[in-house]
Chain A
Amino acid sequence: QLHLQESGPGLVKPSETLSLNCSVSGASINSDVTYWAWIRQSPGKGLEWIGSLYYSGSSYYNPSLKSRVTILADTSKNLFSLKVRSVTAADTAIYYCARGEPFVWGRGTMVTVSS
């Protein structure tokens, strides 16, 4: 059964880099029949797509975040990661990782940006 688990610091200081991992069990992130994604949800708000990573190695990002975001795969550990640089309070959110089509979601991890 496919399972995704986010991990990383729950508190990040403004201007620093937010780093999260998504550990995948029950499937290989090398699969060529799907993609892997990060989505976030600010308190009381809707879902916002951050970016996606495909088997080919191609990555696609939300234009509003593209300049600050990187998504990479670590096939040796069967996980994919998210980095958001130069964070501000507006980056405070629950961050979810997911497998695409059909989406299978992780449980999410809350990240607060505060000094």
Chain B
Amino acid sequence: NFMLTQPHSVSESPGKTVTISCTRSSGSIASYYVQWCQQRPGSSPTTVISDDNQRPSGVPDRFSGSIDRSSNSASLTISELRPEDEADYYCHTYDSDSHEVFGTGTRVSV
């Protein structure tokens, strides 16, 4: 099976932009859709990006997703950072055996 590796933490000032990477260890990142979820402290996760780059209803357009075949990675970009964006972020996708795989998680500090 494969792993999804994320940076342990990123930190940026309010109003700035951060990008979190999610690198797939084997197989193509483009094989199956990637989703991203946000988990604020003490709360359950909520999805901020689905299908690589789609925002569920209610998610602000400051959140965007993309995939890069050359680096075999997915990325989540948060622009115009706000204090409420401070959270853990996880990427996840599934494999050909319908096994869901979660990334290692990234702590975003604002």
Contacts and interface: CB of A to CB of B under 8 A. Distances in A.
Interface of A: 35, 37, 39, 46-49, 52, 54, 58, 60, 62-63, 96, 100-108
A60 B102 contact: no
A101 B51 contact: yes
B100 A37 contact: yes
B100 to A, nearest CB: 4
Interface stretch (B20-28, B40-48, B69-77): B40-48
Interface in B34-59: 35, 37, 44-47, 50-51, 54, 56
Given A46-B90, A102-B56, A52 B100 contact: yes
A101 B33 contact: yes
A105 B102 contact: no
Contacts of B54: 102
B98 A54 contact: yes
A47 B35 CA distance: 13
A50 B69 CA distance: 28
Contacts of A54: 98
Contact of B47 (A47, A49, A104, A108): A104
Contacts of A35: 98
Interface in B63-110: 90, 92, 97-105
Contact of A105 (B1, B37, B100, B104): B37
B34 to A, nearest CB: 11
A28 B73 CA distance: 34
A60 B47 contact: no
A39 B39 CA distance: 14
Contacts of B105: 46-47
B50 A60 contact: no
B104 A46 contact: yes
A54 B104 CA distance: 25
A46 B35 CA distance: 15
Given A101-B33, A102-B50, A103-B50, A47 B102 contact: yes
Contact of B98 (A52, A102, A105): A52
A48 B100 CA distance: 9
